[in-house]
Amino acid sequence: MPESDADLRAASETAVRQCLDLQPDESLVVVTDDQRERIGEALYEVASEVTDDAAIVRYPPGNQHGEEPPAPVAAAMQACDAFLAPTTKSLSHTRARGDACDAGARGATLPGITEEVFVTGLDADYDAIYDHSAAMLDAVSDADELRVTTEKGTDITFVRGDREWLADTGAIAEAGSFSNLPAGEIFLSPASATGTYVVDGTMMPHGLLDEGRELRFEVEDGYVTEISDDDIREQVEAAAEEVGDDAYNLAEIGIGTNVGVTDLVGSVLLDEKAAGTVHIAIGDDAGIGGDTDAPLHLDGIVREPTVYADGEEVDLPQP
């Protein structure tokens, strides 16, 4: 059911005025596509009330998360002070997004956003999200190893190496800063990882998994070596035809810090932020502190994990 114009406007106000803190003398571009146009227009309307230098660009939805947008879209992102990107396929881990931030633009991607998730996810206490994220960073950022286990069979250890943990809190007022919206996670592109992880929450292309359904992944020396699900395996194999083994890169370990997300809804964008979960991704990590370029970034949410930092159990925030 479509959300009301008033609800879309309220969420847009949070994104433009609170998270971005857009100023009247700044330029902003909204990047959207044919399937997310209503959200894009709502953001553009609010931004246009703040600054006279606002624009909206629209293009056909991409084929895969992490696929580069058309060159004119990338140029617009790089030339502005701030951007918001509600798109069907994620621009988070693209060179276009990274180059824009390197050039000093700040902004947020809203990959796979739906009107329901937009309205629900932006109705959040972002001060609390910031505090929970800071507490989690304090608990894990100096650890050399992070181990995640679950009763479903997850037992995987991540090696930090020289990589840094990053936080996605929705605070994007500083030049060059970047966030997902809705926000609420800390994440690391590990130097290596070995073990098994079992996704029992949300993962594309399946969305929210039915109760009892589990997707199993084997990882060795930083690469996924076995994938139990045919559809996901086919996606990775297709990417491997383009970039080889980089498609199998174990790209990310993330910990959700948004205590306002009380139930998984089937949207990776929102569900990976849920407090009390972790998410693990395959593929590209160049945009989050790694060095692997791949045309996909596939997150899987793991419910009810136990997390250890250098052998010490970590207290996760809970919804």
| Alpha carbon distances (Å) from 215 to 200, 220, 285 | 7, 17, 21
Which segment, 117-126, 157-166, 261-270, is predicted with the most confidence on average? 157-166
Range 148-158 average pLDDT: 98
235 has pLDDT over 90? yes
Tell me the pTM. Answer: 0.81
From first CA to last CA, the distance across the chain in angstroms is 26
pLDDT for the residue 141: 96
Residue 137: pLDDT band by 50, 70, 90 thresholds? very high
pLDDT, average across residues 171-197: 95
pLDDT the model gives residue 103: 97
Residue 72 has pLDDT above 70, yes or no: yes
Rounded mean pLDDT of 182-195? 96
pLDDT score for 1: 61
d(CA 66, CA 83): 17
> What does the pLDDT average to over 180-206?
96
Mean pLDDT of the chain: 94
Summarize pLDDT for 285-300 with one digit per residue, the tens: 987 899 999 999 999 9
Segment 238-261 mean pLDDT: 95
For 23-70, the pLDDT digits (tens) are 999 999 999 999 999 999 999 999 999 999 999 999 999 888 888 999
103-132: average pLDDT: 90
Categorize the per-residue pLDDT at 2 as very low, low, confident or very high, splitting at 50, 70 and 90. confident
**pLDDT reported for residue 63:** 85
- The domains located in the chain, with CATH, are 5-122 (3.40.1830.10), 124-314 (no CATH)
In the predicted model, is pLDDT for residue 146 greater than 80? Answer: yes
